[in-house]
Structure 1
Amino acid sequence: MTDTRIKIAAGLERAFAARGFAEPSVEDLRDAAGFSLRTLYKYLPSRADMVLAALEHRHTRYLARLFDDLPEAPDVALDALIDRIGAWMARETSHGCLFHGAVAADPGSSRLREMLQRHKGEVAHRAAAATGLPGHETELLIIMEGLTQTWSLQGDAVTGAKRLAHSLRRRDG
């Protein structure tokens, strides 16, 4: 991505995270991107392209936030990963997953479904590798998704997610 495209995608990500996918007008998105409408459409010629660019930016940020400098010890990495998801939810989006929100707003979009699948697959794969739980990608994804979806209902559910995650290790141990 070019610097301009990255800046546009970052602004769009903030707008969609704050206001959803249906509410922001093109003018709102232009303002959030911080560029003229002409520049916005030069880089992202449709609203669908804007949503995908915002999600791609989110994907990159989320992976970095969760996995950069994660402790090497699997048990410690497991706790740190779940703590980082909780911190992400508290700071970034207390109302659920932006990727699921995008698919819900446009359920017929195969591009959005592919993006959701790629995002969740990569998160699960990297989580299993970092925590020493290969073969448990599905279980880890269920725990992480449960944490993000539960957050909007009851807030911090990090302790429960950690208990469930550590039960995987005990079961295999």
Structure 2
Amino acid sequence: MKMAAGLEQAFVRHGFADASVDTLREAAGVSLRTLYKYMPSRADMVLAALEYRHRRYMAEVLNDLPADPAQARDALMTRAGDWMQSEAAHGCLFHSAVAADPANATLRALLERHKHEVATRAALATGLEGQDVALLLIMEGLTQTWPLRGAEAVSAAKHLAALLAEDQP
């Protein structure tokens, strides 16, 4: 877990293309031998970092949302904005990983799984079942707009989620 946390932060700071193996080893806090014992390739290091990132995002943004759907929508967008401010000021790490290695089917599958889980859990928590794609679109828009607009992007996402809820049958 500690190795994955260090790798995640190394990829956040240095990107997927520029992080050297020595940088990754140092961030993981282990010897090169130990790093390669548990993660025999750079691709394994990327996957471990992203799996760790996925668990953290789900816990920080989607766990323990309020039971009331309207409050859950508000909390979800607030938490997504907080995540952007503290963890992802430059955008989604999963999208960055795929952009750095677009032919990697494993990375693309991990991106798809992450976004599917986010959309499914968010829709369930906010009373927007059946609107998974629309809600994900709002959240992705927040993620992409936050670096440019900050809190204004969070407010707009809250407004759009409320409109989406009004359209529910």
TM-score exceeds 0.5: yes
Task: Give the letter for the 2:9 counterpart.
Answer: R
The answer to whether the 8 Å contact 2:54/2:114 transfers is yes
* Counterpart selection for 2:113 from 79, 94, 118: 118
What residue number does 2:157 align with? 161
Which ranges of 4 or more aligned residues in structure 1 deviate by more than 2 Å? 153-156
Q: Give me the whole-angstrom Cα distance separating, in 2, the residues matched to 1:78 and 1:151.
A: 17
TM-score, normalised relative to structure 2: 0.97
Task: Give the letter for the 1:151 counterpart.
Answer: W
* Counterpart selection for 2:145 from 144, 150, 159: 150
Q: Give me the whole-angstrom Cα distance separating, in 1, the residues matched to 2:66 and 2:29.
A: 37
The answer to whether the 8 Å contact 2:81/2:150 transfers is no
Deviation at 1:155, TM superposition (A): 2.3
Any unmatched runs of 5+ in structure 2?
Answer: none
SS of residue paired to 1:55: helix
Q: Give me the whole-angstrom Cα distance separating, in 2, the residues matched to 1:80 and 1:113.
A: 28
Aligned Cα RMSD in Å? 0.8
What residue number does 2:43 align with? 48
What residue number does 1:18 align with? 13
1:27-42 counterparts in 2 under 5 A? 27-42=22-37
* Counterpart selection for 2:167 from 164, 168, 171: 171
Task: Give the letter for the 2:127 counterpart.
Answer: G
Deviation at 1:154, TM superposition (A): 2.4
Deviation at 1:134, TM superposition (A): 0.3
Size of the aligned set, in residue pairs, is 168
1:86 has 2:101 as partner? no
Q: Give me the whole-angstrom Cα distance separating, in 2, the residues matched to 1:51 and 1:162.
A: 32
Q: Give me the whole-angstrom Cα distance separating, in 2, the residues matched to 1:108 and 1:171.
A: 38
Deviation at 1:19, TM superposition (A): 1.4
Any unmatched runs of 5+ in structure 1?
Answer: 1-5
Task: Give the letter for the 1:7 counterpart.
Answer: K
